[in-house]
């Protein structure tokens, strides 16, 4: 496995553990619909949440957010709509972002709820 894939998998595992510690119930990881992928699908409170996780070993903070463009947002919306339809879920939707920075002595995790609204 390429190093960037290993970094991404580690970041997703850290993000999952972080979200679970904040009372999120994880439903799916790496859900695919066509070419679209949602890193984590979870529920919290009255929401079903699609979570995009970006992991870097060293990058400016803004680099993480720029990785989610309009095309990625649209594909996440379509994938979550499909997931909800096949599972019969009628909760409110939310799209969150988790940034995982592995450049320091300890991983740094930043969670941004409602990162975008479709």
State pLDDT tens for residues 6-43: 888 999 999 999 999 999 999 999 999 999 999 999 99
Domain boundaries, the chain: 3-116
96 close to 50: Cβ distance less than 8 angstroms: yes
Q: Residue 62 above 60 pLDDT?
A: no
Residues facing 62 on adjacent strands: none
**Which of 73, 64, 15, 6 shows the shortest CA–CA distance to 40?**
15
How is domain 3-116 classified at the architecture level of CATH? 3-Layer(aba) Sandwich (3.40)
Percentage of residues in the chain having pLDDT higher than 90: 72
């Amino acid at each position: 496995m390429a190093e960037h894939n290993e970094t991404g998998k580690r970041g997703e595992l850290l993000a999952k553990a972080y979200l679970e510690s904040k009372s999120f119930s994880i439903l799916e990881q790496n859900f695919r619909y066509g070419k679209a992928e949602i890193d984590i699908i979870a529920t919290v409170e009255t929401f079903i949440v699609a979570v995009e996780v970006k992991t870097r070993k060293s990058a400016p903070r803004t680099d993480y957010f720029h990785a989610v463009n309009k095309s990625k947002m649209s594909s996440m919306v379509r994938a979550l709509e499909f997931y909800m339809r096949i599972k019969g879920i009628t909760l409110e939707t939310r799209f969150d972002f988790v940034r995982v920075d592995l450049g320091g002595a300890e991983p740094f995790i930043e969670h941004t709820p409602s990162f975008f609204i479709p």
